[in-house]
Amino acid sequence: MSTFVSTPTYTHTVTHLTDKLLTSISNIIRDSGLDMGRFCRTRESMEEGIKAWLDSGHLEYVVLEICEPGTEKLIKLWKFEVFTDGTGEQGFWFDGADIRYHLQKAGAVPARCEYTVKVQNKPGEPAVSGWSNCQFRDASALRQYSLGTTISVGSSGARTSYYR
| H runs (alpha helix) in the chain | 10-31, 37-56, 96-106
Q: Is residue 64 part of a domain?
A: yes
Q: Is the pLDDT of residue 89 over 70?
A: no
Q: What is the pLDDT of residues 118-160, one digit of tens each?
A: 999 999 999 999 999 999 999 999 999 999 999 998 788 999 9
Q: Is residue 3 part of a domain?
A: no
Q: Is residue 2 part of a domain?
A: no
Q: CA angle 14-154-7, nearest 5°?
A: 85
Confidence of residue 90 (pLDDT cuts 50, 70, 90): low
Q: How many domains are there within the chain?
A: 1
Query: How far apart are the C-alpha atoms of 16 and 55, rounded to whole Å?
Result: 12
Q: Is the pLDDT of residue 108 over 90?
A: no
User: Which of the residue ranges 34-43, 66-75, 90-99 would you say has the lowest mean pLDDT?
Assistant: 90-99
Q: Is residue 124 part of a domain?
A: yes
Q: What is the pLDDT of residues 72-86, one digit of tens each?
A: 799 999 999 999 876
Domain assignment of residue 52, given as a range:
10-163
Q: Is residue 5 part of a domain?
A: no
Q: What is the pLDDT of residues 7-35, one digit of tens each?
A: 557 778 899 999 999 999 999 999 999 99
Return left, alpha or beta for 117; rule: phi > 0 is left, psi -120 to 50 is alpha, else beta: beta
CATH number of 123's domain:
3.30.900.10
Q: Is residue 31 part of a domain?
A: yes
Specify the pLDDT at position 43.
Answer: 96
